[in-house]
Amino acid sequence: MANEEKAPETEATEQAQQAEQAVAEEVTAEEQAALETDPLAEEAEPELQSVAELMSQLEVAQAEAAALKDQMLRGQAEIQNIRRRAEQDVEKAHKFGVEKFATEMLAIADNLERAIEAAGDDEAVKPMREGVEMTLNMFVSGLAKFNVEQVNPEGEPFNPELHQAMSMVPAEGVEANTVVAVMQKGYTLNGRLVRPAMVMVAKG
């Protein structure tokens, strides 16, 4: 009889133990799942991805900004070069715009000089020679107002940048490479040679 009365208690105890075991197993499974899927880790991973993406975007933006800056600097340099070339062209136009006109005028000066040489010392044509000389001087002075300067290097050392040697001649008492005669005067415009002086040079 005693055994029959304890049977229900034993059964209840077994059920309680089974329930406790089931709860323990459920808790263990939840802990295991929690360990496998850590919410902080899941939250941290997207944040790390977001930072990496931002850094990548920042690098791309910095590279684009550097390229645009370089392009801007190149553009500014090109504009400055264009402006400088334009200023130089304007300056050259002002300085050498009359070069062709001056070149044409040189023939007049040459003819006036030939007329003076042809007159010589003849007293009969002295008044005419003096008039031609006056005209030549006025003409040369007029050219000088436009920075057209005469090159008359007689007695000076030969300068290949301004003179053209027609011949080498022996000359006593004169240093070698000295201009002993000017066959045709030269001219410069603002320091630039328009026509070299045709000269004879002392032989060494």
pLDDT tens digits, one per residue of 69-105: 999 999 889 999 999 998 888 877 777 778 888 889 9
Q: Which CATH superfamily is domain 97-202 in?
A: Head domain of nucleotide exchange factor GrpE (2.30.22.10)
Q: Tell me the pLDDT tens digit for each residue of 107-132.
A: 999 999 999 988 888 888 889 999 99
pLDDT at 22 over 70: no
Q: Where along the chain do its domains lie? A: 17-94, 97-202
Q: Which residues share a beta bridge with 184?
A: 198
State the amino acid at position 25 in one-letter form.
Answer: E
Measured between its terminal Cα atoms, the distance across the chain in Å is 160
Q: Tell me the pLDDT tens digit for each residue of 53-65.
A: 888 888 888 999 9
3-state secondary structure of 189: strand
Q: Tell me the pLDDT tens digit for each residue of 181-199.
A: 999 999 999 989 999 999 9
Cα 21 to Cα 27: distance, rounded to the nearest angstrom: 10
Best CA proximity match to 166, nearest among 203, 198, 204: 198
Is the CB of residue 171 less than 8 Å from the CB of residue 79? no
